[in-house]
Structures are given as C-alpha cells and as structure tokens.
Amino acid sequence: MAKEIKWKCEICRQHEVKSRDYRFIDSCGLQGKTYVCEWCFNLSDVAISDIIRDELDPKSFYDKEEEEWIGASE
C-alpha cells in the first residue's frame, strides 16, 4: 500500500495544502500555479509577501470570528 503524502502550503509552509491558486509575485518567486492552504488562499499579494518574508502564520491575518469559521472546515 502506498504511503499518503501530505503537502505543505507553498506560501506559509505550515498548513496542509487544500487548493491551487495562481500568484504572480516576482519578489517572492511565485510565478503561476501555487498550492496553498485554506488560510493563504484569499489573502492579498501584500499579505502573501509579508508571510513569506517574515515567516508569519497566515491565521494572524484573520480576526477571531473568521478564524473559527475557516477552521471549522478542517
């Protein structure tokens, strides 16, 4: 039986991949198809740059109510 591989988000490298996004941010090295977690999926390019540069947790970009709603789908 094959071992299941869990991919990490290409942006935050902390959470499991949930979807595919398309980002073109030269300063971050993102050029097209990117596999992302549910937390990084709808963030702005500025937030994505901050997460990559400062190694931040994308959950910090959401308020408590949004965090509970997004986290409920895990």
pLDDT in tens, 6-42: 899 999 999 999 999 888 888 888 888 999 999 999 8
Q: Does residue 4 fall inside a structural domain?
A: no
Q: Is 61 within the bounds of a domain?
A: yes
**Is 71 a domain residue?**
no
Tokens of 68: 């509970």
CA distances from 2 to 7, 8, 24, 44 (A): 15, 19, 34, 37
* Domain-embedded: residue 5: no
Under a CB-based contact definition with an 8 Å cutoff, are residues 42 and 11 in contact?
Answer: no
53 part of a folded domain: yes
Degrees, nearest 5: CA angle 40-60-48: 35
**Domain of 62, in residue numbers:** 19-66
Q: What is the pLDDT of residue 65?
A: 67
- Give the chain's domain count: 1
Mind listing the pLDDT tens digit for each residue in 36-57?
999 999 899 899 999 999 999 9
